[in-house]
Structure 1
């Protein structure tokens, strides 16, 4: 399946590259020639042809360097070198087969230009060289994670009759007795409360030595 997609990509890249290279070369050559005629230059005029050439280079770079399948670069390279090779056999017939007088967004599109100056032949040979890598015809190896061997659980040692817990020392056994949290009683004895003598009633008159209320007011 990857070879099929690469083959279709090669068929699409050929006309796109031809058009972009033609626009870039014709625009660059026309701009520089105009500068020479008027004796001044404006670098902003080179932006449009530079964009065409940059996009064409990106498309060719993706097709030639991505290791998907070399079938696409092979097909594109053969198609791009065919017009130039045809110039060796029947140059006039090949030149007449290439359309002329086309325009793209109002700009002339001389498709014969990259064929006559050998640019398409150069690009096609570069794409053909990209197919000579034998590893590109193989599928990328898939890394399979290796299973980690499970470590066997070490069994717990069986307790024997001699494995008794250590006996606590005497210092650890002499601990304070448990309490409920109440404070310790005060060992100091308290004085007894005074008692009423004479068997009088607590509701009786005060002792005689105390002044009365009416005497105190007088």
Structure 2
């Protein structure tokens, strides 16, 4: 079940993150290309670029670092790395394939931007390294069978009855004292 969940997450988050990176880097390139000609960029331009890239990083961080199935991180990482490697051997084809501009909320995102800037290779490598991390494959520690508390050693919660010095010892009631406690409490009602 966890493999299916991370597969669905990869199918949704991989392309969404790609678009966010394209939006953020495209916006950032536009802002800093025009910065020498302007005294001060408008306040929303660098902030929008930062938000897009930060959200993309958070989305990939969820897939890459949490103790989920590594399937999602593997799929996204290999997809991003594959696009970067393909661009090394056939840059014209990859750019032609990805060179589409989306307009989202007044911002333009050229889908080839992550390949052009090298972000696809960087992010893909990070996700693949997260998959091969030894800690990711370890199981959560389980309590050894001999250290589990026995029912007679478990204190009974007392709430307001802690004032009753006749029934409460220094460590509280144990399961052995239950019949006495129940009898005493019922007789007071």
Question: What is the TM-score normalised by the length of structure 2?
Answer: 0.71
| 3-state SS of paired residue (2:88) | helix
Instruction: Call closer, same or farther: CA 1:45–1:5 in 2, change over 3 Å.
Output: same
- Larger Rg computed on CA atoms: 1
Equivalent-residue separation in structure 2 for 1:119 and 1:43 (angstroms): 25
Residue 104 in structure 1 maps to residue 104 in structure 2:
yes
- Alignment match, 2:159: none
Equivalent-residue separation in structure 2 for 1:132 and 1:15 (angstroms): 22
- Alignment match, 2:78: 78
- Alignment match, 2:148: 146
- Alignment match, 2:168: none
Q: CA deviation at 1:107?
A: 2.1
Structure 2 residues not aligned, in runs of 5+:
154-175, 177-189
Structure 1 residues not aligned, in runs of 5+:
154-218
Equivalent-residue separation in structure 1 for 2:31 and 2:138 (angstroms): 46
Residue 66 in structure 1 maps to residue 63 in structure 2:
no
Equivalent-residue separation in structure 2 for 1:110 and 1:139 (angstroms): 41
Count of aligned pairs between the two proteins: 152
Structure having the larger proportion of residues in helix: 2
| 3-state SS of paired residue (2:150) | coil
Equivalent-residue separation in structure 2 for 1:10 and 1:84 (angstroms): 18
Equivalent-residue separation in structure 2 for 1:101 and 1:130 (angstroms): 31
What are the within-5 Å matches in structure 2 for residues 28-67 of structure 1?
Answer: 28-67=28-67
When the two chains are superposed, the root-mean-square deviation of aligned CA atoms in Å is: 2.3
Instruction: Call closer, same or farther: CA 1:133–1:41 in 2, change over 3 Å.
Output: closer
CA distances 1:155-179 after superposition (whole Å, capped 9, x unpaired): xxxxxxxxxxxxxxxxxxxxxxxxx
Equivalent-residue separation in structure 1 for 2:8 and 2:139 (angstroms): 18
Q: CA deviation at 1:149?
A: 8.1
Q: CA deviation at 1:14?
A: 1.1
Q: CA deviation at 1:135?
A: 4.2
What are the within-5 Å matches in structure 2 for residues 89-128 of structure 1?
Answer: 89-128=89-128
Equivalent-residue separation in structure 1 for 2:14 and 2:152 (angstroms): 56
Q: CA deviation at 1:71?
A: 1.5
| 3-state SS of paired residue (2:111) | coil
